[in-house]
Structure 1
């Protein structure tokens, strides 16, 4: 009798485990048809460019490329900082040179008393050139922001799937067995 209780308990556990093991749900595989064309909105690139023109980085947010927003503001902000700094130094050199032309000589309490007139003129030219280049960079990064949003929005709609591939290939020549370089374009049906 002592052996019957553990054996019946063992059969009971095995039966319960097999009952739960057989209660598995059926799975259905759904195959996505990749040959159907997605609907293309031709205004999406124009919207993204318009948003970036209104507020830099807004087009990147529209395209859901949030990681580009700090790059846009970093580039425009850095260029703008250098524009403001070079403009301030240009005006400092210019004001000091104007003081000299009014008759205040070196040693009369100016900011750049230690420089002679030729150095003040050279400093004005240097900072004016750097100021103008910085402004050019501000405008360039602003335009690049708009172009990036436009191109990125256009490329989001570009059809790329696994059946289309382009890759370089190195194959031996049939006669000399020297390696040849080629480019293969494969399309799998």
Structure 2
């Protein structure tokens, strides 16, 4: 009986010390959390917003492709812009050169000459079809080049807008997940904060 009493007493003492130790840890955590760095709103330095920066970046990119990206300090995009424009122009010029070859050969055949480079291998119908295909490819290449030029301008404009995007504690949208203690299920929520 004494043995059981001593075991129960030692078990009670051990549990109470453990509980006191956990309380001490919680109090230390509270002390640590209250000692965090707090920044007052008046001390936060914000860069001034330039409302003309997106228009300026778009104008620079329209004048010289890639200049708007340089204005936004996104230098790594400049080679991509020039590669896209260069590839589009290369295919346009290549298709134009091939179109002119087939067109000149077809004109010579209509004039009655039989000395063009395609004589004996390509028929008159083949020359007409090749001209149609190459003209379509040339026009598509031109449209792709114009599209890349337009994307260059749009990218500079949007990038200048996003550089001024305000992400601070005064305006925030935060998802949160919390365990409900009553029925042990999860609660999902969304918090929108706007501080003046």
Same fold judged by TM-score > 0.5?
yes
Q: Deviations over 1:54-97 (max 9, x none)?
A: 10000000000001101100111100100000011111111111
Distance in 1, Cα, partners of 2:157 & 2:141: 24
Distance in 1, Cα, partners of 2:88 & 2:64: 17
2:79 corresponds in structure 1 to 70
- For residues 129 and 171 of structure 1, do their structure 2 counterparts lie closer, same or farther at Cα, with a shift above 3 Å needed? farther
Q: Deviations over 1:137-180 (max 9, x none)?
A: 111111111111011111111112377355597999x99x7x99
Residue number among 88, 96, 117 corresponding to 1:79 in the alignment: 88
Distance in 1, Cα, partners of 2:38 & 2:176: 34
SS for the counterpart of 2:58 is helix
1:134 aligns with 2:141: yes
Report the TM-score, using the length of structure 1 for normalisation: 0.69
SS for the counterpart of 2:128 is helix
SS for the counterpart of 2:190 is strand
> How many residues align structurally?
154
Q: After TM superposition, give the deviation of residue 39 of structure 1 in Å.
A: 1.1
Larger helix share, 1 or 2: 2
Report the TM-score, using the length of structure 2 for normalisation: 0.67
- For residues 171 and 184 of structure 1, do their structure 2 counterparts lie closer, same or farther at Cα, with a shift above 3 Å needed? farther
Two-structure CA RMSD over aligned residues (Å): 3.3
Distance in 1, Cα, partners of 2:175 & 2:104: 62
Distance in 1, Cα, partners of 2:78 & 2:176: 34
1:123 aligns with 2:130: yes
Q: After TM superposition, give the deviation of residue 51 of structure 1 in Å.
A: 0.6
Instruction: Trace 1:26-37 onto structure 2 (pairs within 5 A).
Output: 37=46
Gaps of 5+ in 2: 1-36
Query: Structure 1: which 4+ aligned runs deviate by more than 6 Å?
Result: 168-172
1:93 aligns with 2:114: no
